[in-house]
Amino acid sequence: MTADVVTLLPEVVLALGAVLGLLVGSFLPPGREAPVRGIGIAASVATIVVALVVHGGPSAFGGTYTVDVATTTVRVLVAGAVGVSLVLAGDVSGVASQTLGVRKATPSTGRTDTAFAVLVQLSGVGAMVLGGASDLLLLAAAVLLAGLPLAALAGLARDGRATEAALKYFLTSALFGLVLLTGVTVLLGLTGATSYAALGRATPPVVVAVALLLVLAGLLMTIGGVPAHFWVPDAVDGTHPVTGAVLTTTAKLGGLVAAWRLLAAVPTTAVPWPLLVAVLATASMTLGNLAAFAQTSLRRLLAYSTVSQVGYLLVPVAVATRTPLALPALLGYLAAYAVTNLAVFAVLAARPHALEVADQRGLARRHPVLAVALAVGLLGLVGTPPTVVFAGKLAGFTAAVDGGMSWLAVVAVLNSVASLVYYLRWIAPVFSPGDPVLRDPVAPRARAVAVVLAVVSVAGGLLVAFAG
């Protein structure tokens, strides 16, 4: 039992950070809750350290939770994302309505900052558990733990759009959570056990396929992939960019590894899931791209861009059992995606008053550093070298070709080119001369975060050897 707790120490540390933050926050006057964020940042840093340093057993609680390189990667990335979003939240603290949505400045009565910090950490714990879950019931619990705090997070601003965002997210997650539980129940009935190891002997194949599809649907909702992606644009567009960053990062990191773990346990002889995942990947990247073309709201554009990124992330999952390159490709791309996506959202968070394409004109003149960070981030999302996403895409494409799915690599390449169009629609006005603007304030923390992450995304691309 003690050994099990040691194995789960990173999750425990982050959860303790959340609990401690909740306690401290309830004693602080509303609007002056910076210490709670401090606790959260400290907890995420501690989580990263613990995840890298403390080596518990390879599994915990009777094999329901696996700790391997994938789990460690998810732990580090999720904790890092939680820390980054808490730093970003520091720019918008104090005034509740401003924290997570609109510009009008009314004094707050609720402790939204505490709520934000605690919810982000709890969702992070859920995402980390998702990454290690190797048991169907634990998977279901983790999906709920990762997802429900996000619904509350989306609704924190308490204005019309945020409420819509929260409701949409909540209803979608409730629906797909039920679907997932149904799938889990069917699989339990077929095998008599909930551990992944038992999945190999499940029969008959048709029923297994249906149940697997149901479970997968739940995971797709968590990661925001087609066809369970429709909450993403509304939730991201209705909330502050910092919330958007959280919504599109933490749960996704855990969910993709969870999908990889689950599918790898199912023999392809019984269920032809590689083809299914490949089709889902194609659908995600294509539909995400097509929908992003026409957007003028940057938050919506980015939301659809994350949908298409899920498609690229599913490429290595599709060849999970066919090539040893799939796992490093998946983990590398996850890290690249987390860094780059957060960098772009940080640029948005730096100027929360300018969230339309038209507001971007002349940004390079007024804030050259921010503009370069944005260009690096957006071109990074395209997969331009030498950023980390390029290394991730290269790895993913190599895995696809090596796994005998060259057509999927072709589809991904065509989609990458197509995505360039809408990213350039954002970049081009940034570097064009704009009308003089009297005031264009920039949130200092967000700018620093954007620059640091942009540097990391380039340096990481160059120094990727250490990860490989």
Partner 1 sequence: MLTALWLAPLAVAAVLVAVPAARREVVLGAWVVLAVAEVGGAGVVWAAVPRGGGFAFEVAAPWIPAFGVGYHLGADGFSAPLVAMTAVVFLAVALSALRRPPDEDAARTRAFVLLFLALEAVGIGVFLALDLVLFFVFFDLSIVLMYFVIAGWGSGGRVRSALQFFLYTFLGSLVMLLGFLVLAVGGRTSGGITFDIPTLAARAPVTGPAGVLALVAIGVGLAIKTPVWPVHTWLPPAHTDAPAAGSAVLAAVLLKMGTYGFVRIAMPLLPGPWRSAAIVFVVLGVVSVLWGALVALAQRDLKRMIAYTSITHLGYVVLAVGAAGVVAAGPEARTLAVTGATVQMVSHGLVTAALFLLAGVLRERGGTSEIAAWSGIAGPMPRFSWTFALAAFASLGLPGLSGFVGEFSLLAGSLPAVPVAVVVAALGLAVTAALFLRALQSMLLGDRHLPAAAERAPAPRIGRFRAPSSPDLRVVETTAVGLLLACSVAVGVAPAVLTTTIAPAAAQVVSLVSR
Interface with partner 1 by CB under 8 A: which residues? 325, 328, 365, 368, 379, 384-386, 390-391, 394-395, 397-398, 401-402, 406, 409-410, 413-414, 416-417, 420-421, 424, 428, 431-432, 464-465, 468
Q: Which is nearer to partner 1, 194 or 416 (CB)?
A: 416
Q: Which is nearer to partner 1, 41 or 344 (CB)?
A: 344
Give me the least distance between CB of 396 and partner 1, in Å please. Answer: 10
- Strand-pairing partners, residue 195, are 135
Closest by alpha carbon to 81, among 379, 372, 336, 298?
336
Taking 3-state DSSP, the helix, strand and coil percentages for the chain, each rounded to the nearest 5, stand at 75, 0, 25
Give me the least distance between CB of 296 and partner 1, in Å please. Answer: 17
DSSP string covering 326-393: HHHHHHHHHHHHHHHHHHHHHHHHH-TT--BGGGGTTHHHH-HHHHHHHHHHHHHHHT-TTSHHHHHH
What DSSP element (H or E) covers 461?
A: helix 444-462
CB 373 within 8 A of CB 365: no
Give me the least distance between CB of 332 and partner 1, in Å please. Answer: 9
CB 261 within 8 A of CB 284: no
Give me the least distance between CB of 241 and partner 1, in Å please. Answer: 25
Cα separation, 254 vs 330, in Å, equals: 12
Cα separation, 254 vs 107, in Å, equals: 36
Give me the least distance between CB of 383 and partner 1, in Å please. Answer: 8
Give me the least distance between CB of 325 and partner 1, in Å please. Answer: 7
Enter the DSSP assignment of 183.
H
Longest CA span, the chain = 69
State both tokens at 51: 């995840």
Q: Which is nearer to partner 1, 171 or 358 (CB)?
A: 358
Give me the least distance between CB of 256 and partner 1, in Å please. Answer: 19
What DSSP element (H or E) covers 318?
A: helix 298-318
State both tokens at 317: 């999952």
Enter the DSSP assignment of 143.
H
Q: Which is nearer to partner 1, 16 or 442 (CB)?
A: 442
Cα separation, 31 vs 133, in Å, equals: 37
Give me the least distance between CB of 338 and partner 1, in Å please. Answer: 18
The 3-state DSSP class for residue 320 equals: coil
Q: Where are the alpha helices (DSSP H) in 8-53?
A: 9-27, 34-53
The residues near 447 (Cβ < 8 Å, ≥ 6 apart) are 346, 350, 367, 369, 370, 373
Give me the least distance between CB of 377 and partner 1, in Å please. Answer: 13
Q: Which is nearer to partner 1, 16 or 418 (CB)?
A: 418
Q: Which is nearer to partner 1, 219 or 427 (CB)?
A: 427
Give me the least distance between CB of 274 and partner 1, in Å please. Answer: 17
Q: Which is nearer to partner 1, 239 or 419 (CB)?
A: 419
Q: Which is nearer to partner 1, 196 or 397 (CB)?
A: 397
Q: Which is nearer to partner 1, 417 or 459 (CB)?
A: 417
The residues near 152 (Cβ < 8 Å, ≥ 6 apart) are 115, 119, 166
Q: Which is nearer to partner 1, 203 or 432 (CB)?
A: 432
Q: Which is nearer to partner 1, 190 or 372 (CB)?
A: 372
Cα separation, 4 vs 96, in Å, equals: 40
Give me the least distance between CB of 386 and partner 1, in Å please. Answer: 6
CB 449 within 8 A of CB 377: no
Give me the least distance between CB of 224 and partner 1, in Å please. Answer: 25
Q: Which is nearer to partner 1, 171 or 463 (CB)?
A: 463
